[in-house]
């Protein structure tokens, strides 16, 4: 168990979630994340488009850097907005803290994005599940290289901030009838947003300082016939989520525009036509249409920056009145109108780019690659697993989890190289590292 393995608290562990003066702990956590292997691997993991398709667009690494910048920008705006509210100010995260949380939020995403995520969950859905955010927690708590026992050994507050979904796989999973072995469509194995079952002890450690009633409410989930969903998240997480949504809706739109993956006609039909007349984009429709579809990157960036700034000014904090712990009760929120604008932009990128056959074919190919790698490694662990991974495999009670952890760490490039080394007759060498 997490608690029993930890014979003494980590050096910078907080015993409670009292308001914390200063930001030394956040800066230390940020440094550990930036210098971690998992963070460096994000440079070669898919954000929207396949890595290597172009030299302009974002990877998971550049996306995480932008989310961190937006997160700190949101906190700065909130400090200005609530400069007279000393109680709320005392609970807002410091710059190092929120940047650490934002930089860490995508560490657990496997190669080939959500296609790879579904492929790994296909094998793990009856063994505690696999989900990208749950894997992030595993990296921070177990797999990170700073501490052999405790991963990156971050502070409780950073861990709580990264905890987007404080529910276990077994508590929220509801899959349809199991598919037959060998099917080429495994969409039914899309995981719920959750923590893996075997990391329950980590969740308990994160929430340990909270009152029992707060813990129970915080871990509650929605009802429904499909996967259930977590109801709550902490203040820091709500800031990170807004930064992530803005980066996705606005900055990923910039990628699509620069690469000419969307047309101005589609923009007018699927964005401008759906926005109310008093929306910030609708009120300046000619400006945004002209700038965004300009051949000049400076013109596009001008419009993108203006749009991001308009989003940041629409963010506020409210008290839910449900939790005794302010760090859970306070929530960052964006105005209803800005939220609608962001939803339209995100849906536009999703429908025009992510769901396009060109992108879906790449995701499907990566998904099938992960499926085949998992099967062959599971059938031939002693022959094919790297020595360090094999050592963990031989000691582990849940051996499939070790294979899952190994494949989840791979970058897109590494997964492709491994696939070719194993399955392409004319590729691979004894000098290629697995």
297-306 confidence digits (pLDDT tens): 999 999 999 9
Give the model confidence (pLDDT) of 145-159 as tens digits: 998 889 999 999 999
Residue 2 has pLDDT above 60, yes or no: no
Percentage of the chain modeled with pLDDT above 70: 88
Confidence band (pLDDT; 50, 70, 90) for 406? Answer: very high
* 423 token code pair: 């399955």
For residue 54, give every residue at least 6 positions away whose Cβ sits within 8 Å of its Cβ, in sequence order, or none.
Answer: 259
Give the model confidence (pLDDT) of 198-235 as tens digits: 999 999 999 999 999 999 999 999 987 789 999 999 99
Residue 110 has pLDDT above 60, yes or no: yes
Average pLDDT over residues 70-90: 97
3-state DSSP call for residue 168? Answer: strand
Contact 292, 300 (CB under 8 A): yes
16-22 long-range Cβ contacts below 8 angstroms, 24+ apart: 16/209, 17/156, 17/157, 17/160, 17/209, 17/210, 17/325, 17/327, 19/90, 19/91, 19/326, 20/94, 20/157, 22/94
277-282 long-range Cβ contacts below 8 angstroms, 24+ apart: 278/337, 279/337, 279/340, 279/341, 280/307, 280/310, 280/337, 280/338, 280/341, 281/307, 281/341
Give the model confidence (pLDDT) of 328-348 as tens digits: 999 999 999 999 999 999 999
Bridge partners of 230?
221
3-state DSSP call for residue 149? Answer: coil
**Tally of residues, the chain:** 434
Contact 269, 351 (CB under 8 A): no
Average pLDDT over residues 16-39: 84
Cut 0.85: pTM above it: yes
Burial grade of 206 (CB within 10 A; 0-12, 13-18, 19 or more): buried
d(CA 193, CA 173) in angstroms, rounded, equals 9
CATH class of 1-434: mainly alpha
Percentage of the chain modeled with pLDDT above 90: 76
Is the pLDDT higher at 239 or at 180?
239
Residue 17 has pLDDT above 80, yes or no: no
Of 120-134, 199-213, 413-427, minimum mean pLDDT range:
413-427
3-state DSSP call for residue 304? Answer: helix
For residue 206, give every residue at least 6 positions away whose Cβ sits within 8 Å of its Cβ, in sequence order, or none.
Answer: 156, 159, 160, 163
Average pLDDT over residues 105-114: 94
3-state DSSP call for residue 206? Answer: helix
Element (H, E) at 388: helix 387-395
Residue 327 has pLDDT above 60, yes or no: yes
Confidence band (pLDDT; 50, 70, 90) for 362? Answer: confident
Of 37-46, 209-218, 366-375, minimum mean pLDDT range:
37-46
Q: Note the pLDDT of residue 47.
A: 52
Average pLDDT over residues 94-113: 96
Backbone angles phi, psi at 70, to 5 degrees: -65, -40
Contact 170, 203 (CB under 8 A): no
Residue 106 has pLDDT above 50, yes or no: yes
Confidence band (pLDDT; 50, 70, 90) for 428? Answer: low
d(CA 116, CA 369) in angstroms, rounded, equals 9
Give the model confidence (pLDDT) of 164-185 as tens digits: 999 999 999 999 866 655 567 8
For the chain, what is the mean pLDDT?
Answer: 89
Average pLDDT over residues 80-87: 96
3-state DSSP call for residue 387? Answer: helix
Q: Note the pLDDT of residue 57.
A: 54
Of the candidates 129, 169, 289, 31, which has an alpha carbon nearest to the alpha carbon of residue 120?
A: 129
Give me the helices (H) in 139-224, please: 156-162, 169-172, 200-207, 212-218
Give me the helices (H) in 271-356, please: 280-283, 285-292, 297-312, 326-329, 336-349
Residue 78 has pLDDT above 80, yes or no: yes
């Amino acid at each position: 168990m997490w608690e029993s393995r930890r014979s003494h608290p980590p050096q910078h562990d907080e015993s409670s979630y009292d308001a914390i003066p200063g930001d030394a702990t956040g800066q230390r956590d940020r440094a550990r994340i930036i210098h971690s292997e998992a963070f460096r691997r994000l440079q070669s993991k898919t954000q929207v488009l396949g890595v290597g398709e172009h030299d302009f667009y974002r990877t998971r690494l550049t996306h995480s850097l932008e989310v961190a910048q937006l997160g700190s920008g949101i906190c700065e705006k909130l400090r200005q907005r609530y400069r007279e509210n000393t109680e709320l100010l005392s609970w807002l995260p410091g710059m190092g803290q929120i940047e650490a949380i934002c930089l860490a939020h995508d560490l657990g995403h496997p190669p080939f994005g959500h296609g790879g995520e579904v492929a790994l969950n296909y094998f793990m859905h009856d063994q505690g599940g696999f989900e990208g955010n749950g894997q992030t927690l595993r990296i921070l708590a177990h797999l990170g290289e700073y501490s052999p026992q405790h991963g990156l050994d971050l502070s409780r507050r950073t861990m709580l901030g990264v905890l987007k979904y404080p529910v276990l796989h077994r508590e929220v999973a509801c899959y349809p009838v199991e598919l037959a072995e060998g099917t080429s469509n495994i969409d039914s194995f899309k995981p719920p947003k959750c923590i893996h079952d075997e990391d329950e002890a980590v969740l308990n450690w994160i929430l340990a300082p909270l009152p029992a009633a707060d813990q129970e409410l915080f871990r509650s989930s929605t009802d429904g016939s499909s996967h259930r969903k977590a109801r709550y998240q902490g203040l820091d997480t709500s800031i990170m989520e807004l930064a992530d949504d803005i980066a996705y809706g606005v900055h990923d739109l910039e990628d699509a525009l620069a690469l000419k993956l969307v047309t101005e006609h589609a923009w007018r039909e699927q964005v401008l036509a759906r926005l109310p007349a008093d929306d910030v984009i609708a009120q300046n429709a000619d400006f945004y249409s002209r700038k965004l579809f300009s051949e000049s990157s400076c013109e596009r960036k001008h419009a993108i920056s203006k749009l991001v700034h308009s989003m940041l000014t629409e963010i506020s904090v409210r008290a839910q009145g449900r939790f005794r712990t302010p760090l859970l009760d306070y929530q960052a929120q964006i105005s209803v109108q800005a939220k609608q604008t962001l939803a339209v932009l995100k849906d536009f990128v999703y429908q025009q780019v992510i769901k396009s056959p060109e992108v879906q074919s790449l995701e499907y190919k990566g998904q099938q690659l992960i499926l085949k790698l998992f099967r062959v490694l599971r059938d031939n662990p002693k022959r094919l697993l790297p020595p360090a991974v094999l050592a963990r495999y031989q000691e582990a009670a849940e051996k499939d989890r070790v294979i899952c952890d190994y494949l989840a760490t791979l970058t897109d490039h590494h997964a492709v190289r491994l696939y070719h080394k194993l399955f392409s007759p004319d590729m691979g060498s004894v000098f290629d590292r697995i």
